[in-house]
Amino acid sequence: MQTRVSESVKPITPEEFIPGGIEIKNLEVSYGKNAVIKGIDIVFPPGKVTAIIGPSGCGKTTLLRCLNRLSELTPGCRVKGQILLDGENILNMDPMLLRRKVGMVFQRANPFPKSIKENILYGVKAIKLKCDHDSTVRTCLEKAALWEEVRRRLNESAFALSIGQQQRLCIARTLAISPEVILLDEPAAALDPVSTGILEESILAMKGEYTQIIVTHNMNEAKKISDYIAFLYNGKLLEFGETEKIFDSPEQEMTQQYISGKVY
C-alpha cells in the first residue's frame, strides 16, 4: 500500500482501501519524434477527484488518454514508463479489460446513434456483463442526474437530447460498466453554465465511489470540484497537491501565474 501514496497525500490504512488508485512512474509519451510527455511521476489517489490543469498543448489530454490506452489508436504514438492501476501495470494489460475499469467522458458529447436506453446498455452488452438492464439504466441515469428528464423517453434517439444532456448520458453510459476510474476530458467545454452546474453536481456526487481525473481549463471548476490538482507545463509535472494548497500557496511561481491567468 505504501508505494501508492505520495507525500502530499494523506496515508490510508488497508481497511480504507478503495480500488482505483493510479500511480504513474516516469511516463514518457511521444508522437513520432515529438515528445509530448517528458517523464512524469504522479499518484492519483483513489476515490478522489484530481484535476489536471495546464496551458494548451502541455500534454493533459495525452496523459489522460494514456490512462485507458486510447492513445494507442493514434498512429505513431509511443508510450514508455509505468502506469500502475491498483499495483498492476496497465501497459501490460489487455486494453479491453483495462477500459472496463477505466471509463472515459470526452470533450464533445459522443452518444451512439441509438436510443437512450441502448446507449447505456451498450457497454454492458459489449462486454457481456450480467445485470438487470432496467435497474442499471435507472441507477446510472440517476447518478448522472438525468433520470427525471428522460424517464419517459428512454427509447428515443440520444441525438434528440440537448448537448448538456448528451454529455450526462455519456457519463451514465460510462457508469454502466461500473468502472473504478472515470477520466473526464474537458467535459464542460461545450456546455452552457446551467448544464455545467448540473454536470459538476454529478461529479461531486460520484466522489468517493470512483476515482475521477478531470482535465479542465476552468480554474473555478477545478477549485469547486477537485480534491487534488496536478499542474502540467510543457510535458512535465510542475506541481501536485491539495486544491486549497495549490490555490492558496503554490510552491512554484509558474503555478501561481497560471492560476491567476498570466501564463498561457
User: What minimum distance in Å lies between the beta carbon of 262 and other proteins?
Assistant: 33
The answer to whether the CB of 161 falls within 8 A of the CB of 170 is no
10-22 CB burial, b ≥16 within 10 A, e <16 = eebeeeeebebbb
Smaller CB distance to other proteins: residue 118 or 221?
118
Alpha-carbon span 255 to 231, nearest angstrom: 7
Give the three-class secondary structure for 150: helix
- CA 102 remoteness from chain centre: 8
Smaller CB distance to other proteins: residue 123 or 235?
123
Smaller CB distance to other proteins: residue 49 or 121?
121
Which residues contact other proteins (rule: CB under 8 A)? 68, 70, 73, 96-97, 99-100, 103-104, 106, 108, 110-114, 122-123, 126-127, 157-160, 170, 173-174, 176-177
User: What minimum distance in Å lies between the beta carbon of 31 and other proteins?
Assistant: 16
Give the three-class secondary structure for 217: coil
Alpha-carbon span 92 to 17, nearest angstrom: 23
* Residues paired with residue 30 on neighbouring β-strands, in sequence order: 35, 78
Nearest to 102 by CA among 184, 198, 183: 183
User: What minimum distance in Å lies between the beta carbon of 161 and other proteins?
Assistant: 10
159 backbone dihedrals φ, ψ, rounded to 5°: -75, -15
Smaller CB distance to other proteins: residue 1 or 97?
97
User: What minimum distance in Å lies between the beta carbon of 137 and other proteins?
Assistant: 14
Smaller CB distance to other proteins: residue 31 or 112?
112
User: What minimum distance in Å lies between the beta carbon of 2 and other proteins?
Assistant: 31
Smaller CB distance to other proteins: residue 51 or 170?
170
Alpha-carbon span 23 to 113, nearest angstrom: 35
Put the strands of the sheet holding 211-215 in their side by side order: 102-105, 181-185, 211-215, 49-53, 228-233, 236-242
User: What minimum distance in Å lies between the beta carbon of 144 and other proteins?
Assistant: 14
User: What minimum distance in Å lies between the beta carbon of 110 and other proteins?
Assistant: 4
Alpha-carbon span 162 to 153, nearest angstrom: 13
Smaller CB distance to other proteins: residue 97 or 205?
97
Q: Is the dihedral of CA 78, 87, 184, 155 positive or negative?
A: positive
